[in-house]
A and B are shown apart, each in its own frame.
Chain A
């Protein structure tokens, strides 16, 4: 078993969804129940693989890549099929594995217009392959391919199943992200040409091997490093999204179907932040030190600016989308400190944000389905019309504003803490200023979230909805989809070490590289 997992575990985790896709491709479109069953089984099979991987994972060596696979792939450019799982990848991989089946269950009885479960579910499964692949790839080209694979399914999901302005939102999402990844690819190629991997694990001069590149890239001059980091910064930064590259996000979220929004918020945004921790910082620590104050500045601007925009929104879903900008600002601030504290908190923040904001989008979707509107002015009294859903929204709101005891807190306070003492080579004064701004951001977060909750859930239902028979409380598929997320938000909030234990050793290696460069 162990041997089998060592060789095939990660590959299975990535490509099992595609097996599901292949089966579904053979089934006629009309067999809807069958499609749902196959998709669910495929995603659950991935969960089983995930559980096995967790069982076999050696947590004492969480800093090392485990279940490593290294096979030749594109020999002409020395790009190899390298997969590996360590403490940084693990939480994000598990998050993805969890979210996908929950999305399938949630959609069970109500696929958005124009229906077509076959196509919709196939897209979700393809998306899953791309997402998990991105978190496991240890070769830049392989990483890039998975990173791009994610784009198309999401593009179609928004463009076909989305709201009224879906085409504009879809193409904007696609082009904007593509623009970033183009520059990212340029950076990868420049690294390939400039780094010297002869004496590393790669054994050749030009390599895309992410294990070898931190050492190999020390040969790259600082100017080139800065440029290369800049390209990656745009590629990852747009995906996060960082201020001022965030404008695709509210449109995409507002127009996307519910599960599209959930996946987008829960996983897709993390591809960017993950890229910083996994690729940009360890490979180019010197450039990272130069760029960090700038990234930190954009992060704290994003925190305040996102919050202010939230206060101006009249649409619930758009408000939640803007809150992502603010929350990812915290994550990016943690990353910008380049410390183990900051990056640990950032990874925790990614997982927490995935669960919490995913949950908020789920509820928003269910509200939309019942009220046929998300205009905040027309909502109100959710606690009367659908009390359980009102409670769930309240819970998610509290988690989102960083209430201690729930997951959101652990992505927020440690970030603020870490900004007090950034990595060596960074200006203490600058980061302490960021710290205070970020702390002030928590006030705004409470403001816009509680105000949203007050307007949607407190009070009494407006006359147009007071006797509406469509407005009913949480249904069974919703419970099944939400219960694991709600439980995890609480469990991780109470005992955060479940995540920190994994990430800390792995992040420690990254921060050591930075510390070495800072001296």
Chain B
């Protein structure tokens, strides 16, 4: 219990480490990286202990364990005190484990990967801050705290994408990431506000979910709030049509891409939906519908991401689109009601995708920091055996072939899409999307492996295998990619004591969580899904390894235009960057400034000049001594500081004051009489 009740210590360690590295890190022998590693290591160990404590808690209670919450006063308004605190349950400890482990491995990997970098110390400082923020996010006790952590991970992402800010392309990518996320955050702010009032003035996550479950909040409020929150998921978790920042975010160092833009930060959206599931369950009518916005967003995203992954030359871009696609899978799963499957996929994906990203980094480390598969890679399996083997393992897991981790989680999602939903009819549309994606995923993964590791080496020089600080993390992640699926094996395959452990420990059994149903494992369905993935591999193998059907885009008009559409990323970047942002920054902003200068300020200046003229007219025709002051005061550019100074010196300030008060009194008299 100690580790559950004092969970606040876990993020505090890397948070302290951030300040330590920032202010004194450079004085340490390893320039601060050791502080980060020790801090994140400690946080990871505490996370594991919290996990064990949670398992113990679940085992020792009959009806599922209640979440452990702690809260302290944070601020007050309207006589109500609002708290900040920790909420620890199975979901939290699972996320803590993933974040802690991947972060620790990325830290170790980075000591080699960014060695000698111009901002080595800052890099580790921000990794620490990120780890702290992400851990804070997953143990947020209320929605406001969620927003805080949500934005903090965003700012770390900004800083790390723009790590090499000397080049404009990198800082552009950082800005794009931050601002696109801000667009989604509008939904978050609105959604949280709606839920605050709908739940009778509370940010408390457990209370809001409980009320939503009990039907104490109107469907309309939940619907609008969940639509708002989905906008936030779209930006943070790279869902169509706010996903465009994520591929650009690859401008950051590769370990950052692995940690932030694959394994952890981008799943914040998934986590948030999972955390607020009571709201979505009712708001999106998940148990009774056969299609809903959440499932549709996930479905479309997973297709869009997978299709775009095909045309990338840059290995990190393939992985980025693949991440988008896989995140879409998770959202889809949440949308159809397969809560556990979504989180299970989050869990396995974190390992195999981090493995793939770090593998890509290892490859580029060998190939003169290039990520271009077509120009600078090929045939690397001979030169980099460890990287090759781990990358292959990650790829098989990503392609969803049994018995690796990715297969089990993917299968559970697809089974969910086919079995859950209203009348047990499943979600046919998103099921089809998921199936197509399974096919595409297998195919583009094969292409990526071929281009990188097979064929002839196309770069210059002789590539070399990376040192142990890089390969050891790769092997650890690869091991998880192999066995990670074992935590939630179906009951039809393993004895009861081993089956569905993930579901047992992670899924809350409490009033704040809806009573979700679980898809059943079916041999026939699993075999079909596997065959589809295998077909993807086979077709891609035939095209790339055996060289069949090459030149199809030259011969076939339809294929050519399809390819162009994909190459231009469905023209979304053109729409956002050139049309929307371009016009706001350019003509719209200039027009506002013009209105400001010539109309609003024009009125002011004209009024000033007219009154100065009037003043001058009065001055020449009426009593000079009394009105003199007013003229000086109502002049514009013609008057100067001396005018008022003179007024003061000659005692005319008293005349002014008298005049002023007299005029005001008269006006007030008029007002009093009229009304």
User: Does B associate with A?
Assistant: yes
A positions within 8 Å CB-CB of B = 152, 155-156, 159-160, 167-168, 170-172, 174-176, 178, 182, 185-190, 192-194, 221, 223-224, 227-228, 231, 244, 246-248, 305, 308-313, 339-341, 344-345, 381, 383-384, 398, 403-405, 409-410, 413-414, 416-417, 420-421, 435-436, 439-440, 442-443, 446-447, 450-451, 454, 458-460, 495-497, 500-501, 504-505, 508, 511
A194 touches B672 (CB 8 A): yes
- Of all chain A residues, which has the CB nearest B197? A421
Name the interface residues of B565-601: CB closer than 8 Å to any CB of A. Answer: 581, 584-585, 588-590, 592-593, 596, 600-601
For this complex, 30 residue pairs linking A to B, each with C-beta atoms less than 8 Å apart, are A160-B641, A167-B639, A168-B636, A171-B639, A185-B664, A190-B668, A224-B672, A224-B675, A308-B592, A309-B589, A309-B593, A309-B596, A312-B589, A312-B590, A341-B77, A404-B149, A405-B148, A413-B144, A416-B190, A420-B193, A420-B196, A435-B190, A443-B186, A447-B581, A450-B179, A454-B175, A495-B74, A504-B77, A504-B78, A504-B79
Report how far A417 CA is from B80 CA in the complex, Å.
15
Q: How far is the CB of B200 from chain A (nearest CB, A)?
A: 11
A186 contact from B151, B197, B667, Cβ within 8 A: B667
Q: Determine if B162 is an interface residue (Cβ-Cβ < 8 Å).
A: yes
A247-B604, A383-B165, A409-B148 known; 5 other A-B pairs, CB under 8 Å? A413-B144, A417-B192, A442-B182, A495-B74, A501-B76
User: Interface code B618-643, partner A: CB below 8 Å = 1, 0 otherwise?
Assistant: 00000000000000011111011100
- Scoring A339, A398, A458 by chain B CB atoms within 10 A of each residue's CB, the highest score goes to A458
B600 touches A508 (CB 8 A): no
For B635, what are the chain A residues with a Cβ–Cβ distance below 8 Å? 171
* Size bracket of the B interface: 35 or more
Q: A182-B664, A313-B593 are in contact. Are A247 and B77 (CB under 8 A)?
A: no
For A505, what are the chain B residues with a Cβ–Cβ distance below 8 Å? 79
Report how far A518 CA is from B151 CA in the complex, Å.
37
B75 touches A340 (CB 8 A): no
B151 touches A152 (CB 8 A): no
Q: Determine if B479 is an interface residue (Cβ-Cβ < 8 Å).
A: no
A193 touches B672 (CB 8 A): yes
B147 touches A404 (CB 8 A): yes
Binding site secondary structure of chain B: helix
B636 contact from A160, A172, A313, Cβ within 8 A: A172
A443 touches B179 (CB 8 A): yes
Q: A247-B601, A440-B186, A495-B74 are in contact. Are A186 and B162 (CB under 8 A)?
A: no
6 A-B pairs with least C-beta separation: A189-B668, A311-B589, A312-B593, A159-B641, A404-B148, A308-B592
For B144, what are the chain A residues with a Cβ–Cβ distance below 8 Å? 413
Q: Determine if B49 is an interface residue (Cβ-Cβ < 8 Å).
A: no
B positions within 8 Å CB-CB of A = 73-79, 144, 147-152, 155, 162, 165-166, 168, 171-172, 175, 178-179, 182-183, 185-186, 189-190, 192-194, 196-197, 581, 584-585, 588-590, 592-593, 596, 600-601, 604, 608, 633-637, 639-641, 644-645, 660-661, 663-665, 667-669, 671-672, 675
B77 contact from A174, A246, A384, A500, Cβ within 8 A: A500
A459 touches B640 (CB 8 A): no
For B667, what are the chain A residues with a Cβ–Cβ distance below 8 Å? 186
- Of all chain B residues, which has the CB nearest A496? B75
Q: How far is the CB of A255 from chain B (nearest CB, A)?
A: 12
B155 touches A398 (CB 8 A): yes
B644 contact from A155, A185, A221, Cβ within 8 A: A155
For B637, what are the chain A residues with a Cβ–Cβ distance below 8 Å? 167-168, 171
Report how far A303 CA is from B178 CA in the complex, Å.
20
For A228, what are the chain B residues with a Cβ–Cβ distance below 8 Å? 671
- Of all chain B residues, which has the CB nearest A304? B592
For A188, what are the chain B residues with a Cβ–Cβ distance below 8 Å? 668
Binding site secondary structure of chain A: helix
B77 touches A340 (CB 8 A): yes
B168 touches A308 (CB 8 A): no
A403 touches B77 (CB 8 A): no
Q: How far is the CB of A158 from chain B (nearest CB, A)?
A: 9
Q: How far is the CB of B152 from chain A (nearest CB, A)?
A: 6
For B162, what are the chain A residues with a Cβ–Cβ distance below 8 Å? 458
A439 touches B664 (CB 8 A): no
- Of all chain A residues, which has the CB nearest B79? A508
Report how far A344 CA is from B75 CA in the complex, Å.
11
Report how far A403 CA is from B150 CA in the complex, Å.
10
- Of all chain B residues, which has the CB nearest A310? B589
Q: How far is the CB of A434 from chain B (nearest CB, A)?
A: 12
A460 contact from B166, B186, B588, B645, Cβ within 8 A: B166
B664 contact from A159, A189, A381, Cβ within 8 A: A189
Report how far A305 CA is from B175 CA in the complex, Å.
21
A175 contact from B73, B189, B608, Cβ within 8 A: B608
A186 touches B664 (CB 8 A): yes
Report how far A504 CA is from B634 CA in the complex, Å.
42
Q: How far is the CB of A86 from chain B (nearest CB, A)?
A: 16
B79 touches A172 (CB 8 A): no
For A308, what are the chain B residues with a Cβ–Cβ distance below 8 Å? 584, 588-589, 592-593
B189 touches A446 (CB 8 A): no
Report how far A432 CA is from B179 CA in the complex, Å.
23
B79 touches A340 (CB 8 A): yes
Q: A156-B641, A504-B78 are in contact. Are A227 and B675 (CB under 8 A)?
A: yes
Q: A227-B671, A313-B593, A413-B147 are in contact. Are A459 and B77 (CB under 8 A)?
A: no
Q: How far is the CB of A36 from chain B (nearest CB, A)?
A: 24
For B152, what are the chain A residues with a Cβ–Cβ distance below 8 Å? 403-405
For A504, what are the chain B residues with a Cβ–Cβ distance below 8 Å? 76-79
Q: A223-B675, A435-B193, A436-B186 are in contact. Are A451 and B74 (CB under 8 A)?
A: no
A185 touches B79 (CB 8 A): no
A185 touches B175 (CB 8 A): no
Q: How far is the CB of B633 from chain A (nearest CB, A)?
A: 7
For B148, what are the chain A residues with a Cβ–Cβ distance below 8 Å? 404-405, 409
B640 touches A340 (CB 8 A): no
B166 touches A458 (CB 8 A): yes
- Of all chain A residues, which has the CB nearest B653? A152
B194 contact from A192, A246, A247, A420, Cβ within 8 A: A420
- Of all chain A residues, which has the CB nearest B593? A312
